Amino acid sequence: MNLILGGGDVGKTTILDAVGLLLSASNAATISEADYWRRENTDEFSIEGIVSLPLSVDPNNFSVQLMPWDWNGADAVMPGDPQDGDVPEAKHPVYRLRVRGTADLELVWEIIQPDESTIALSAAFRKKIGLIRLSADDRNDRDLRLVFGSALDRLLADPAIKARIAKKVAEQDFSGAVGDAGVKALEALDQRLKAASLPSGVKLGLTSSQGLSIGALIGLLADRDGVALPMTSWGAGTRRMAALEIAASTQADNSVTVIDEVERGLEPYRLRQLIGILKSTFGQSFVTTHSPIAIQCSAHADLWYLDAAGAIGGLNREKIAPQQQRDPETFLAKLAVIAEGPTEIGFLRRLLRLAFKGDPLDCGVRVCNGQGNAQMLALLEAIGMTGLKFAALADDEGVQGGRWGVVKAAMGARLLRWEGGCTEEAVLRHLPEERLQEFLKDAEGGSNGERLRTLADRLGLEDKSLPAIEAKLVALKSSLRALIIEAATGKPDGSPEGKRNDWKAHGRAWFKSIAGGDELAGYALADDVWPKLEGSVLPLLNAILTSVDRPAVEHLNHV
Amino acid sequence: MSDASVAALLRSAEPLVVIEAPAGCGKTFQGAAYAREASQALPQGRVLILTHTHGACGVFANRTRGLSSRVDIRTIDSLVIQVATVYRRALGLPDNLSTWAYQNDGEGFDIMAIKVAGYMERHPIVREALARRYPLVICDEHQDASPAQHRVIMALRAGGARLRIFGDPLQAIFVSGSKSNTAMAAALSRWEGLKAASAFDVLDHPHRWEKGSPELGRWVLDARADLKARRPISLVQSAAAGLIVLRATNVAQVRTAYQVCRDDRRPIDAAAAKEVMVLAASNDRVRGLSAFWDRRIPIWEGHTRSALADLVRTTREQSGQPVALAQSVLTFAGAIGVGFSPSSHGDRLVKEVREGCARPARGKPAHIQRIARHILDEPSHHGVAGALGELHDLIEAKADGFGDIKIVHRGELRDAIRLKAFTCPDEGFAEIARRRSHALPAPPSRSLSTIHKAKGLECDNAVLIAGDQDQFGDTDYARCKLYVALSRAKRRLTVVVSHDKPSPLFRLA
């Protein structure tokens, strides 16, 4: 299962269309010059796919011997000549299929042999590969009708059935419904035809115009309160599930399923059910989605991310799995900004609101939780491998410097990693001494007992009053700033036996929450602090702005 | 009677069945009947009948008519070419494989077969793709398979195909280097090895002669047994109805010619009067016999065109060099006919081309100039084909100085003239080779043929000229060739043996 993700209009459906066209079981698809790159139909387009054929697909119907390529794990290659030395045994036969849009607006399906010669790829053969296609548009009932190559057609697997149905329908006698006057008119016509030596013996029956197959009119009916209703008139979700069930009952492993907007028309519980069917029943599927639920329950799937520039890259399943479970929306944003923890989320949100002069989410910029330094690094690496655009804010915990260096080189201004510390330190470091005490006050101007408690604990004081703390600090020749930073970051060093976890939790009383991050951003934006931070923070904000086609700003209007 | 046991063995589940099949014992009938039956029973894929000659393809095609979607009949060379073509870039082979293969007397086929055999042995996906298309492979005349071709066939088995192999070690006249005793011995021991590794049976009923002379059929089988045991064949008295022994000594002075005295000639003429296939041991002898009957009996050219392959190669290499092209026309004309020699026409042709037909001429030299101008105007294969077309027209018109030229290999000349229509000679040659493979021409009802080209064919009447010491010496190769010659005719076989130097393979007294 391949889940193709990405923002709007980046080309996800185009990828599904390409797969769909390549394996389409009919030659009826038409193309126009709008399907060509920049409408230049003199430049051909081609869609190529490398497939392995299951044993049930017999390639012997071709008049020419079909010869395989070898799959080396990344591409189709020719097996080496053993006369050139010890070449690896070729064990994985694959075939290259191609559909070309020619300069004459025609579609040509072919198989590419290892010598680049081609063999025509017949519709009958493509039908055997068995494409199941659920598109996002509302005319999505093809598979419920007896059209060539549809799921229903394959289910019945009887090439003569349409002819027999047509014959049966043609035998219907409509004379009863015509009425006496009609019968007389027909008889008169018959006489005239006879007199003119034209075909005679006329009666009414079902005829179709050219190109309209009787199969298109024959479809599944299902019972609803005693009335047979066409399946096609059920809801979108039900139609899709039914089409998949039909397909599932015919072929087990050799099909390719293409589903646009898998969540369409389905409640979360049915969506989970459908993804379960896909996982258990079908060969290979290509799915697009806008649903975090679909992403969350596709733990077995390969995720592909299509960025705003149209580049696609695979995401390393292991590295992104935690993010996929906890914050699947990360993968649905136009630009995801990975923030290391709640502090950074609150901090960034506030700054981004100012930069965007509104909610960045409106522009598809989502600030996501990176779940801590180590997991975030893995996630950024997975994303970075694909060359996709993400932004991030991270702390420097003094570990994995090399890996972070690689990520930074790839992401440039889109990654801000505080030098030698964390967000709290970066801000507090620049706050004037006299304002430090503001942290120890609550909203009403009283003392913030919780924060004072963490400071007192760290000094081993029973008394958490500020004077007591200050007195102890003087005695220790230590500063209030250093103590606040230690408490705010939950530094556990020096904690008494059994208190280590308590000390670590101190951060929560300070800024280790989204609200805390927001508060911290407020201090950062203060006139006496911002000029010292602007140099490192503004490039990140501007990188985010420009990534979503918004103009960069010279100054953050933080008033 | 082994027909029933052979039929049962073919239809068994054995992965490898080998049938020793003397000529005319119903091998083709058994093979084709089995192919028909099996093709209907195969759940998927086709039956592949692998032969060594296009002639044999034709015979099988007749017997399996209407099954072309389930039975493929092809030469093993064409199978090898097909695999080699698809993977030629990996195998380091050129793009124009079919032309390339024919060069240097078909040496390319051997190189290709060795490469393809190694490739199929190494890569499961290659042999399995072939075996999947052809789950059942019937091999005809397996004794003619080279070691590499044998490996290709065994690789098909490794890929999962069932093999049914027919062969006759006594007909191994195409083994490469077969004229040497060691090569023959190696081929025979390969055959014995194959026998030992398989389910094996022998066909022993002479079906070919049933409607002709059954007695002749039994005699041929007995002769085969004698040859196999390296005993001479008795021609003492008319041993069988339909077997005629004529005594006539070749009195020609020229080594390649054939000439007998008038009294000896009369019965030979009578034997060759009606529908007949006159068989000779060598190409030289065939040409000699063609002259013997004043070219009234057409030569069966078989399916190979070595002179044309050489012509194509030289025209490609020498394109733009009129003199060299004139030389190639001369060589080609010498190979396909008589009377167009360097002294009679060739030297003059080369001279005219070199001098650009500068001096006006009349009569024969003027005709030669007409040929030369084609090459001067277009020093490429177009000019060469045009020159040969001109030559052909002059001969037909019996023009001055061209009346004595006889075209022996008409088909080959026709094909060479056709090259004109192609933009590149190699492409033309490949196309001609392809057409020839698919057209399956049959020999004329009255024809002259080498034993090699007659192999796989049958006829009512055959005349073998001559069963002499110089044609059939005391070697296994000669024994095989003799056996092939003796086993072609269904009704009447005439063997012409000289009075003084009969072949040691015969006992006449």
DSSP-derived secondary structure for A50-102: EEPPPTTS-GGGSSSPP--EEE-SSSEEPPPPGGGS-PPPP--EEEEEEEEE-
Residue among B312, B334, B303, B302 nearest B419 (CA): B312
Of A79, A84, A115, the CB nearest to B85: A115
Q: Tell me: do A397 and A344 sit in the same domain.
A: yes
Q: Do A66 and B85 touch (CB under 8 A)?
A: no
CA distance B51 to B437: 12
Report chain B's mean pLDDT, rounded to a whole number: 87
Percentage of chain B with pLDDT > 70? 95
Position A30 pLDDT exceeds 90: no
Cross-chain residue pair A79–B133, CB shorter than 8 Å: no
Please judge whether B86 and A113 are an interchain contact, meaning their C-beta atoms are less than 8 angstroms apart: yes
Note whether A340 and A488 are same-domain residues. Answer: no
Mean pLDDT over A301-326 rounds to: 81
**Does A476 lie at the interface with B, CB-CB under 8 angstroms?**
no
Same structural domain for residues A411 and A542? yes
User: What are the distances in angstroms from CA B205 to CA B211, B212, B222?
Assistant: 13, 14, 12
Do the Cβ atoms of B86 and A115 come closer than 8 Å?
yes
- Rounded CA-CA distance B405/B118 in Å is 48
User: Domain for residue A62, yes or no?
Assistant: no
Q: Note the pLDDT of residue B496.
A: 93
Measured between beta carbons, the chain B residues lying within 8 angstroms of A80 are: 90
Q: Does A54 touch chain B (CB under 8 A)?
A: no
Q: Contacts of residue B93 in chain A, CB cutoff 8 Å?
A: none
User: What average pLDDT score do residues A189-206 get?
Assistant: 84
Judge whether A3 lies within some domain.
Answer: no
Is A65's Cβ below 8 Å from some Cβ in B?
yes
Most A CBs within 10 A among B86, B89, B134, hence the mutation to make, goes to B86
Render pLDDT for B286-300 as a digit per residue (tens, 0 to 9): 888 988 998 889 888
Measuring CA to CA, how many Å separate B483 from each of A307, B172, B185, B278?
A: 77, 10, 17, 15
Most confidently predicted of A230-244, B267-281, B441-455: B267-281
- A11 at interface of B, judged by CB pairs closer than 8 A: no
- pLDDT for A252: 54
Among B44, B90, B129, the residue with its CB nearest the CB of A78 is B90
Residue B78 in tokens = 């064409």
Q: Kindly state whether residue A449 falls inside one of the protein's structural domains.
A: yes
Give pLDDT tens digits for A118-134. Answer: 988 888 888 777 777 77
Shared-domain flag, residues A319 and A448: no
Residue A208: per-residue pLDDT: 65
Residue A253 is predicted with a pLDDT of 57
Determine the Cα–Cα distance for residues B473 and B479; give it in Å rounded to an integer: 8
> Nearest CA of chain B to the CA of A90: how many Å?
5
Q: State the CATH number of the domain containing residue A321.
A: 3.40.50
Q: What is the mean pLDDT of residues B248-266?
A: 89
Residue to test with chain B: of A67, A69, A86, A113, most B Cβ within 10 A = A67
Residue A68 C-alpha, separation from nearest chain B C-alpha, in angstroms: 7
Cβ <8 Å between A81 and B118: yes
**Considering only A14-28, A432-446, B242-256, which range has the smallest mean pLDDT?**
A432-446
Are B79 and B50 in contact by the 8 Å Cβ rule? The answer is: yes
Specify the pairing of strand B162-167 against strand B136-139: parallel
Cβ of A50 under 8 Å from any chain B Cβ? no
Give the model's pLDDT for residue B304: 62
Indicate whether A323 belongs to any domain.
yes
A67–B83: do the CB atoms touch at under 8 Å?
Answer: yes
Question: In terms of domains, do A435 and A413 share one?
Answer: no
Say if the Cβ atoms of A67 and B87 lie within 8 Å: yes
- Are A78 and B92 in contact (CB < 8 Å)? no
In chain A, how many domains are there? 2
pLDDT at A140 over 60: no
Would residue A499 count as lying in a domain?
A: yes
Provide the residue type at A224 as one letter: R
Percent of chain B with pLDDT over 90: 41
Inform me whether the C-beta atom of residue A60 falls under 8 Å from chain B C-beta atoms.
yes
Least confident of A162-176, B122-136, B367-381: A162-176
Q: Using CB atoms, which residue from B45, B85, B90 is nearest to A81?
A: B90
Q: Do residues A543 and A412 share a domain?
A: yes
Residue A198 lies in a domain: no
Closest chain B C-alpha to A114 CA, distance in angstroms? 6
Per the CB < 8 Å rule, is A114 touching B90? yes
* Whether residue A543 sits in one domain with residue A395: yes
A403, A453: one domain: no
- Containing domain of residue A520, as a range? 431-528
Looking at the fold, whether A394 and A516 belong to one and the same domain comes out as: no
A215 inside domain: no
Nearest CA to B207 out of B29, B31, B63 is that of B29
Does any domain span residue A381?
Answer: yes
Nearest to A68 among B90, B121, B129 (CB): B129
**Residues A82, B121: C-beta atoms closer than 8 Å:** yes
E-state strands within B288-435: 337-338, 406-407
Say if residue A542 is in the same domain as residue A420: yes
Q: Which of the 8 DSSP states describes residue A495?
A: P
Q: Looking at residue B363, what DSSP letter applies?
A: S
CA nearest to B224, candidates B20, B455, B482, B468:
B482
Shortest Cα distance from A147 to chain B (angstroms)?
A: 27
In 3D space, the residue among B407, B508, B447 whose CA is nearest the CA of residue B280 turns out to be B447
Cβ-defined contact of B88 to A115 (cutoff 8 Å): yes
Query: Within this chain, do residues A316 and A410 fall inside the same structural domain, yes or no?
Result: yes
A-B C-beta contacts closer than 8 Å: 77
- The pLDDT, as a whole number, for residue A121 is 87
Q: Which residues in chain B have their CB less than 8 angstroms from residue A93's CB?
A: 125, 128-129
Residue A251 contacts residue A139 (beta carbons within 8 Å): no
- Name the burial class of residue A250, with classes exposed (0-12), middle (13-18) and buried (19+) by CB atoms within 10 angstroms of its CB: middle
Which whole number is the average pLDDT over B209-225?
Answer: 91
pLDDT over threshold 80, residue A441? no
ipTM tops the 0.85 cut: no
Q: Do the Cβ atoms of B133 and A87 come within 8 Å?
A: no
A57 in reach of chain B (CB within 8 A):
no
Compute the mean pLDDT over every residue in chain A, rounded to the nearest whole number.
Answer: 82
Which residue's structure tokens are 């066409």? A230
**Interchain contact, A81 vs B44, CB within 8 Å:** no
Amino acid identity of residue B42, one-letter, is L
Tell me how close the Cα of A415 comes to any Cα of chain B, in angstroms: 46
Regarding whether A437 and A383 lie in a shared domain, the answer is: no
